[in-house]
Each structure stands twice: as structure tokens, then as C-alpha cells.
Chain A
Amino acid sequence: MRAKRAWCAALVACASLFAPCSVAAQETPQALRQEIDQLRRDFETLKQQYGDRLTALESKLAAAEGTPPAAPETPAAAAAPGAPAQPPAQPTAQVPPGAEGAGGPSGSLPVYGAGTAGSKVFNPDMAVIGDFLGAVGRNRVNPSPSLEMHEAEASFQAVVDPYARADFFVAFGEEGVELEEGFITFTTLPGGLLTKVGKTRAAFGKVNTMHNHILPWTDRPLVATNLLGGEEGLTDAGISVARLIPNPWIFLEATGQIYRGDSSDVFTAAKPGQVSVVGHLRGYHDLTESANIDLGFSYARGHNASGLAVDDLSGTQTTNLYGVDATVRWRPLRRSIYRSFVGRSEVIWSRREQPGGLQSANGFYVSGDYQFARRWFAGVRGDRSGRAADASLTDSGQSFSLTFWPSEFSQLRGQYRRTKYALGPTANELLFQFLFSIGAHGAHPF
């Protein structure tokens, strides 16, 4: 094998050495023949030289094999100044033929990062976001731990091939590990279809699509907790297709999603085939270069778990969800890093069939977040929501928050929350959050 490689090298060397001559000698066939003869002679000489050198090398190698392996501190290490000391287990390569002697290295050369160097290039962008929560105060209905490493979200994102990219978000929480989202996105399908396949957060409204670290609060609003399955929300395995609807006036995007039918406590498929569907229409318009408005209409339908206990109702009870969301943003471009305002609201209606009759619950939140300095934000939120399984019970709450960003990569938030539960005493709590991220620079949320 080695001999063969040496031959190849010799051939290439000869060819490149004599290439200019052979071009010049193309004038007469005779000259060409002479040239070829000369080449052949030179080649034979080289062959002889290499053969001798190889024999010498082989005998040297045979002798070396009998002795313990040499320490890695060979002259080869000096050939790469500044390179870190190589561990003895490093894979090695042979010194190229002809490079030996004349002060050049001899023996084995270390190959730096062999086997991994190529694959590292294609490693996905990785990041980990830590979400630490603290709570002070009294809440008898839904108490929060006083201190909690709530979640560590690891993300892995990369391009799969010329047609698709993949995104994985794995959440490590106190209750274990969960795939928060994991999907492939076909970015370049014809017809302007943006297609996602995998486990995704459903495109129902705004809050449901947000990961914890994107939220402008330490918690999720009551309407998300009561009607959309809380923190996990409408998240399921399925297929999502989104298309822009071309028109001269606004950005308009229609999204259709089909899921297995198991999302938190909202949807439960009694048998395969009881899929849930989600539809979303989003309109966006720039009012000025600094202000814009974002409107959304959402619909979701799937089977719920309420019929499972009753034999003849099993798999027949459905839940229909309707949502309207509106977001108003203001950020003056000339002072974009110092001032901004985001106003949000969502209204959600739930129509849940149950053995006891249809439960029609609804809820909403309204919030505003104002950035008053480069690193400071103040926010306020009002909440109100019925409960999906018992619409006669309504919870309501108010929150005030203050957020500080030491840098783009960490965030400190305090939130005062007052919650008036339908059953049980009113809760007054002071919630704290510390968010910190390492790794690849993520996109700023919009």
C-alpha cells in the first residue's frame, strides 16, 4: 500500500517537473519520442532511488517494531510550533517520501484532531439557557417552590442539507428531560410552503408559541394555564404547513397543522387517527418605520379526555378552541437600543364537550412592556380566565414586572403577582427569575 503511494507521488512529481518541457517538445514527433525516452530513463532512475529508500525504511521500521515505541517528543512536534503537546494516543501519519533527511522530520507525524476535525465543522449551533425561579409569598392553590432550577433548555440547530434545516430544543427540568420541540423545516419547497415535520409548539396565538425564556413574564398568563395546557401548552407531534398569501397591502400568512391529538391535558386521542388540527392566520403591517401591528386568528380542534371514563362516550368528546391575538410594537429606529414598547393581548374561547354537558369557558390577558433604558424594562399584565372543565369558575390576576439585562446573554426579572382564585384565598407573590444563556448567539425574539 505504502509502496503504491510512493509510486503515485513519484509519478506526480515527474509529471509536474517535466510538464513545461513536454509542451515545448510537441513540435515534431521525433523530438517527442526523444523526450519520452528521456522521461523513461529519468523515471527508471527515480524508481531505483525510491526502491532503495523504501527498502532502507522498511528495515528501519522492522527494527523499530522490536523496541518499545518512542516518546512522542520527536522532531515532528517541533515541526508545528505553538501546537499543544500531543497525547501519546494521537493517530499518526508517515513522513511523506522524500521529505526525510536534510533536517526534515523523520518517523511518525502526529495528525492533529484527525477523525474529528472534519465532523466538528458540521456540528450544530448549540446553546443552553438556564431558567432559575424563586418565589416569596403565599399561594395555597398553585404554590411555587421557593427556589427552583426550573429548566435548562439545550438547543441544537443546523442545516440538514440543501433542502432543510433541523432544530431541537431539549428541556431539562426538575421532573426530567423532555423534548420541547424537535423538527425539520423544509425551507425551500416550491409554492412558498414552509413545512415543518416533528414535535412543535402549535401556532395557536402568541404565548403558546413562545419558549419560557422568550416570555416577557416569569410565568404564563392564567388563560394559557386554564385553557391551553399551561407551560407545555399545545405541543405535539405533527406536520405544519405555512404559506404567505401574496397581496399588495400587508404580510399575511396562513398556517395549517395536523397533530397526533395528544397535547397536555387539552387534547387526548382515545385511538390512533383522532388527530387534532390547528389553523392560524397572521396579519402584520408596518404602521410607520417604528410602529407595527400584528394580528392573529387561531383555531384548534381535538378530542378530550373527558369521555374516557364513560364507556359509550369514549373518544367522542371534542374540544374546540378559538383565539384572537393582537400585538402592537413601537421601537424608534434611531434609538432602537434604548426605547421600545410592546403591547399584547390574547382572547381565547374554549368549547369543551363533557359527559355533564358543554363547558364554554373563555379568558384573556392584556399586557404592556416598556423599555425605559438600554437594559431596563417595566411591565404590567392583567389576567382573567375561566376553567376549561368548569366554566363557572373564573380566576383573575394582576402582575407588575421589572426586568434588567446585564448583557444580551443574561436577564434578571422580578414580578409581583396577585391572583384571585375562584376557589381558595387570594395569593400575593413576589416571583424572581434569572435567565442565562451560553453558546451560539440566538436570534433576538420578535
Chain B
Amino acid sequence: MGSMKFFFGILLATLTSVPAAAQGKLTVITTTEDLAAIAREVGGDRITVEAIAKGYQDPHFVEAKPSFIVKLQKADILIVVGRELEIGWLPPLIQQSRNAKVQVGGEGYLDASLHATILEIPAGQVTRAMGDVHPQGNPHYWLDPENGKKIAKDIADKLSERRPNDRAAFEKGLAAFTARVDEGEKRWLAAMAPYKGTKVVTYHRSFPNFAARFGLDIIGYVEPKPGIPPSPQHTLDLIAEMKRQNVKLVLIEPYFDSKTPNSIGRSTGAEVIVMPPSVGGVKETPDYIALFDYDVKLLVDAIKRAGAK
């Protein structure tokens, strides 16, 4: 009987020894560097932000390392890209985080895609014959500055919800970020305007939102289907199509092998450019605005060189 009491005493002590949530800085963990960059702009010095995946790594294939579990355990807020981008690695991390706040649907869980404009939502039957297709639409939606502003708004709302006292600071951060994006968007649209309708090929379906916003025409992909590496037949077909349509640009993400794109480039005379789809993809893209500045300049320079209008 005494041992029973002792046991329950220990249990009670364990259960009640959880430290009360300190009213210090909010700890925000994001799955990608893009979301971290936006959260940093909104939250300023009132939050600490850390991303799990690096900008130069394929966000579909991140390893569920135990060190990430420790990060999630301490998080007040977890911001995810959603649309099943992280489905291969985030669920086990969340499950083992022992943190009620960041469970799906928890008070600190934010799916950044909920108000963004999502493209390529499949209509009709979805099967894996289409490759590793995302049934809820293309998850690379942050590559449209309009969506960047929507993501920032959602983040500001979530931060304010968790720290009502800092609402004014978050609103200010959001307004400043929105103004910077608006200003940037004018600049980027103006730079891209002369080249509207430029035909390009991309490796993976990472750029539909970017293309829609800035007037690129993506006519094909190096991958035959999402997540399926290039096949010889598909590459030949793509080369023929590029020649037919006189496509002079191939955009590839930094984490893909450039061998096939380079051989496509040699066969068609197209230039292959490595275009980072994420903040941190190259060292010149430390934040969200810089990412677009870099990508737009890269594109404009390449189009000018290729005369591929």
C-alpha cells in the first residue's frame, strides 16, 4: 500500500513538474526556410525562428532526424507548408515531439497554405500512375509574392493569437513586410514585363505560381512525372518539343542533378540555369524579398543572353 502511495506520489510529481509557459519570446519552428524568413519579418525580435529543412535541400525528402524532435519539443508554434509537401518526414517528428501545441490541429500548429492561392489541384481521379502527385495541389505556392503576403497575414494572426500582448508589434511587422513585398512586386513585374510569355522548361513542378505571376510559359518538365527521374524517351520527346517551340531556357532546382538538363541544353541550344526555389537555396537569397530579386535578375539576364523572347 505504501509503495502504491509512493508510486502515485512520483506520478503526481512528474505530472505537475511541467514548467509553466514563460512569457518570453515565442519559439517558432518552420519546416522550410521560406516560412522562417516570412515569420522572422513578421515576428521581429519578439520571436525566435528556426527552419528544419535547408533552402538548398529537396523539401520532399528531408530526414526525420531525432535532433528535430528536440526542436519540436520546445516549439510554441510549428508552421508547415502543407499540401502534403512534408508528408514523408514531418508526421513522425510531430508524433514524437511530446508537444501538444504542435500536433496537427493543436493551438500552435499553422498550415500556411490555407489562404494562399493553390495551383494544380488535380480534378478527377488521382492515382500514383501520375507519379508522386500532390492531391491537394502544388505545394510550391510560396513562389508568388501575393501568396507571401497571405502567408505573412496568417503567421501574424497566429502569433497574435498566442501572444495577444504583442499584437501591435506583429501587425507592424506584417505591414512593413507587406509594403516591402508590394514595392518589390512592382519592381519584379516591371523587370519581367518585356519577356511575358517566354517559354521555359523546369526540372520539377516547383515554379507554377512563379510562372503564373511573372508570365512565364512552362511547356514541359525534365521529370516525366513528379518524383520520377528523367527517362531517355521522355528526354528525347522533350528535346523535340523544345526545338519545335524554340525554348531556350531550362530552370533547375539546386538539389537536382544537372546531367540530364545539361544534355538537353546541348541538344537544343537552351541555357540551363540553377534557380533557387527557396530562401537559402543559394547564399544570395537570405530572405524572401532577396529570393525574388535574385530569381528575377537571374531570369532576365538569361533571357537577354538567349534572346529567347
Contact = CB atoms under 8 A, between A and B. Distances in A.
> Size band of the B side of the interface?
35 or more
Given A333-B56, A407-B228, A446 B73 contact: no
B61 A337 contact: yes
Contacts of A444: 61, 63-64, 88-89
B66 A375 contact: no
A169 to B, nearest CB: 15
Given A188-B103, A191-B15, A446-B64, A408 B257 contact: no
Contact of B128 (A189, A253, A409): A409
B58 A194 contact: no
Given A193-B98, A407-B228, A446-B64, A335 B70 contact: no
Contacts, number: 108
Interface in A199-237: none
A398 interface: no
Nearest to A185: B95
B132 A338 contact: no
Given A286-B67, A333-B57, A336-B255, A443 B91 contact: yes
B131 interface: yes
B9 interface: no
A165 interface: yes
Of B89, B97, B98, B131, which is in contact with the most chain A CB atoms at under 10 Å from its CB? B98
B137 to A, nearest CB: 15
A187 B98 contact: yes
B229 A191 contact: no
A244 B69 contact: yes
A50 interface: no
Contacts of B132: 407-408, 441
B100 A188 contact: yes
Contact of B98 (A189, A286, A408): A189
B69 to A, nearest CB: 7
Given A187-B94, A188-B103, A244-B98, 6 more contacts: A159-B105, A190-B15, A191-B14, A286-B65, A294-B66, A444-B61
The 7 A-B residue pairs whose C-beta atoms are closest, nearest first, are A188-B100, A251-B66, A284-B66, A333-B57, A191-B14, A192-B98, A446-B64
Interface of A: 159, 162, 165, 185, 187-194, 244, 251, 253, 282, 284-286, 289, 292, 294, 329, 331, 333-338, 374-375, 407-409, 438, 441-444, 446
23 contacts: A162-B103, A162-B105, A165-B95, A191-B14, A191-B17, A192-B98, A244-B69, A251-B69, A282-B66, A284-B66, A289-B54, A294-B66, A334-B57, A336-B62, A374-B229, A407-B131, A409-B128, A441-B132, A443-B87, A444-B63, A444-B89, A446-B65, A446-B92
